[in-house]
Chains A and B, each alone.
Chain A
Amino acid sequence: MLKDNISYVIKHLKRRKLRSWLTLLGIFIGMAAVVSLISLSEGLEAAIGDQFSSIGADRIMVGSAGAIAGPFSAGLAAAKLTQDDVDVIRKVKGVEFSTGMLSKTTQVIFKKEAAQGFIIGMETDVETTKNIEKVGLWDLGSGRNPKPGAPYEVAIGSTVAENSFDKEVQLRNKIEIMDKEFTVVGIGKGTGTMSDSGIRIPRDTAYDLFEITDEEVSAIVVKTFAGFSAIDVAEDIKHDLRRSRNQKEGEEDFTVETADEVIGSFLQILGVVQALIVGVAAISLVVGGVGISNTMYTAVVERTREIGIMKAIGAKKNTILTIFLFESGFLGITGGAIGAALGFLISKVVEIAAGAALGQDLIRAYVTWQLVAGVLVFSFIFGILAGYFPARKAATMQPVEALRH
Chain B
Amino acid sequence: MVSETIIELSDVWKIYELGKITVEAVRGISLKVKKGGFLAVMGPSGSGKSTCMNMVGCLDIPSRGEIHLLGQDIAHMTESELAQIRGKTIGFIFQQFNLIGTLTALENVMLPMAFQNIPLAVRKERAKELLTLVGLGDRVNHHPNELSGGQQQRVAIARSLGNNPQVILADEPTGNVDSATGKIILDYLKKLNQEGKTIVMVTHDLAIANQAKRVVHIYDGKIKEETKNE
Seen from chain A, the residues whose Cβ lies within 8 Å of a Cβ on chain B are 1, 3-4, 8, 11-12, 15, 305-306, 308-319, 398-400, 403
With A313-B86, A313-B111, A314-B87 given, can you name 10 additional A-B contacts, CB distance below 8 Å?
Answer: A306-B101, A311-B59, A312-B86, A314-B115, A314-B163, A315-B115, A317-B79, A317-B83, A398-B60, A399-B86
How many angstroms between the C-alpha atoms of A12 and B101 in the bound complex?
A: 11
| 11 A–B pairs (Cβ distance < 8 Å), ordered by A | A1-B117, A12-B102, A306-B101, A310-B100, A311-B86, A312-B59, A312-B92, A316-B79, A316-B84, A318-B80, A399-B59
Q: Which residues of A contact B160 (CB under 8 A)?
A: 313
Q: Which chain A residue lies CB-closest to B80?
A: A316
Assess the A313–B103 pair: CB atoms within 8 A. no
Assess the B117–A315 pair: CB atoms within 8 A. no
Q: Which residues of B contact A319 (CB under 8 A)?
A: 115
State which of B79, B84, B111 has its C-beta within 8 Å of the C-beta of A310. Answer: B111
The bracket for how many chain B residues form the interface is 20 to 34
Which 3 residue pairs of A and B lie closest in terms of their CB atoms, listed nearest first? A314-B87, A313-B112, A399-B59
Assess the B120–A3 pair: CB atoms within 8 A. yes
Q: Decide yes or no whether B49 CB sits under 8 A from chain A.
A: no
Assess the A403–B103 pair: CB atoms within 8 A. no
Assuming the A-B contacts A313-B112, A313-B115, are A400 and B54 also in contact, with contact meaning beta carbons closer than 8 angstroms in the complex? yes
| Chain B 72-111 near chain A by CB (<8 Å), digits 1 or 0 | 0000000110011011100010100011111100000001
Shortest beta-carbon distance from B131 to chain A in Å: 16
Assess the A316–B83 pair: CB atoms within 8 A. yes
Seen from chain B, the residues whose Cβ lies within 8 Å of a Cβ on chain A are 54, 57, 59-60, 79-80, 83-84, 86-88, 92, 94, 98-103, 111-112, 114-117, 120, 159-160, 163
How many angstroms between the C-alpha atoms of A8 and B87 in the bound complex?
A: 18
Q: Which residues of A contact B83 (CB under 8 A)?
A: 311, 314-317
Assess the B92–A313 pair: CB atoms within 8 A. yes
Q: Which residues of A contact B120 (CB under 8 A)?
A: 3-4
State which of A11, A316, A318 has its C-beta within 8 Å of the C-beta of B102. Answer: A11
Assess the B98–A400 pair: CB atoms within 8 A. no
Assess the B88–A314 pair: CB atoms within 8 A. yes
Q: Which residues of B contact A317 (CB under 8 A)?
A: 79-80, 83
Q: Which residues of A contact B111 (CB under 8 A)?
A: 310, 313
Shortest beta-carbon distance from B171 to chain A in Å: 10
Q: Which residues of A contact B117 (CB under 8 A)?
A: 1
Q: Which residues of A contact B57 (CB under 8 A)?
A: 312
Shortest beta-carbon distance from B189 to chain A in Å: 18
Shortest beta-carbon distance from B125 to chain A in Å: 16
Q: Which residues of A contact B98 (CB under 8 A)?
A: 305, 308-309, 312, 403
Q: Which residues of A contact B159 (CB under 8 A)?
A: 313
How many angstroms between the C-alpha atoms of A400 and B112 in the bound complex?
A: 17
Shortest beta-carbon distance from B157 to chain A in Å: 13
Shortest beta-carbon distance from B163 to chain A in Å: 7
State which of A8, A306, A316, A400 has its C-beta within 8 Å of the C-beta of B60. Answer: A400
